[in-house]
Amino acid sequence: MNMPCIDTFDLDRERWGVTSRSKRVWESDFSKGWRIKRVGARPQLAAPKPSLAYAKRSSHLAHLRSESALLAHSDMDGVAEPTELAYCSAEAFINGLWDSCLDFSLELSHDGEINFLYGNDVDLFHVHIDEVGVLSYYSRLDGVEEFGDEVSPQRFPNSGLHSFVERLK
């Protein structure tokens, strides 16, 4: 809390008004040589900036929201927005990722499935969320393939994704 210095005499006449006691204090030797400081004139500290990981996470969540809203308002035949289960799983997946694994491409398919893509065509890590919110992943790096089906966002192997991202660098 910002407290005034001990040598600061606060006099807020608009708020409290002048009383005989405050007038006596104001005119006494007690207040001579003391600096007058108004209560509302204290400097405000700037709010801290969010971390880079928080900013990336927020950006991905905003992209997910905007893309699903575009699909929801699309009047093309055969286009469906992600279901509530898929949307919640995608949010839980993004929020559960380690900070080193936030550089991905987010793709929403026309049938409401959500895809997270890491890497390139040769070395890739693909996470797929279907309409019931279940994750599947496929990884290929240096000819070695890994995959997993029917994984919840809470049980996703972040360590495998982290090692993929680190080896890809």
pLDDT digits (tens, 9 = 90+) for 47-74: 778 889 999 999 999 999 999 998 888 8
Do the Cβ atoms of 93 and 129 come closer than 8 Å? yes
Distances (CA, A) of 130 to 35, 99, 108, 144, 149: 68, 24, 11, 25, 11
**Spatial separation of the C-alpha atoms in residues 38 and 25, rounded to whole Å:** 16
pLDDT value, residue 3: 47
Which pLDDT band holds residue 39 (cuts at 50, 70, 90)?
Answer: low
**Spatial separation of the C-alpha atoms in residues 144 and 16, rounded to whole Å:** 76
Residues forming beta bridges with residue 138, ordered by sequence position: 126, 147
- Angle (deg, nearest 10), helices 84-96 and 52-72: 170
pLDDT value, residue 7: 42
Q: Which residue has the higher pLDDT, 152 or 16?
A: 152
- How much is the mean pLDDT over the chain? 81
Distances (CA, A) of 143 to 16, 87, 101, 124: 78, 32, 21, 11
Q: Delimit the domains of the chain by residue range.
A: 8-41, 52-168
74-72-92-60 Cα dihedral, nearest 10 degrees: 40
Q: Could you read off the pLDDT of 106-144 as tens digits, one per residue?
A: 999 988 899 999 998 889 999 999 999 999 999 998 888
Question: pTM score, two decimals?
Answer: 0.68
- Please compute the mean of the pLDDT values over residues 82-93 and round it to a whole number: 94
